[in-house]
A and B are shown apart, each in its own frame.
Chain A
Amino acid sequence: MYWLAIKTLFHEKGRLVITLIGIVFSTVLSITQIAMYLGMMGNATSILRHIDADIWVAAKNIQNFDFANPFPEERINRVNAIPEVLWSDRLILTWGFLKLANGGQEQVQIIGFNPDTGIDVPWNILAGNPKDLKSGRYMFIDKTSEQRVGRLELNSIWELNDKRFKLIGLSEGIKSFTTSPIVFMSYNQAQSFMTMTGWKSNHASFLVARLKDKSRSRDVAELLKTYLKDNDVFTKEDIIYKTVMYWTVQTGMGMGFFLTAILGLIVGGAIVGQTVYANTMEHLREFGTLKALGAKNSDIYKVIFAQTGISAVAGYIAGSVLILLARDGIEKAGVSLYLSAGLFLALFLVILLTCLLSAYFSVRKVRTLDPVMVFRM
Chain B
Amino acid sequence: MEGSSDGVIVARVLRGDAEVFRVLVERYRDRYARYAFHMLGNREDAEEALQDAFTRAYRSLSRCEEPERFGAWLFRILVNRCRTLGSRRGRRSRTFVVDEVAILEAAEDHPADRNAWREEIDRALQQLRADQREAFLLKYVEDMGYEEMSQLTGVGVSALKMRVMRACDRLRELLSEVHSA
* A and B held together in a complex: no
A-side interface residues toward B, CB under 8 Å?
none
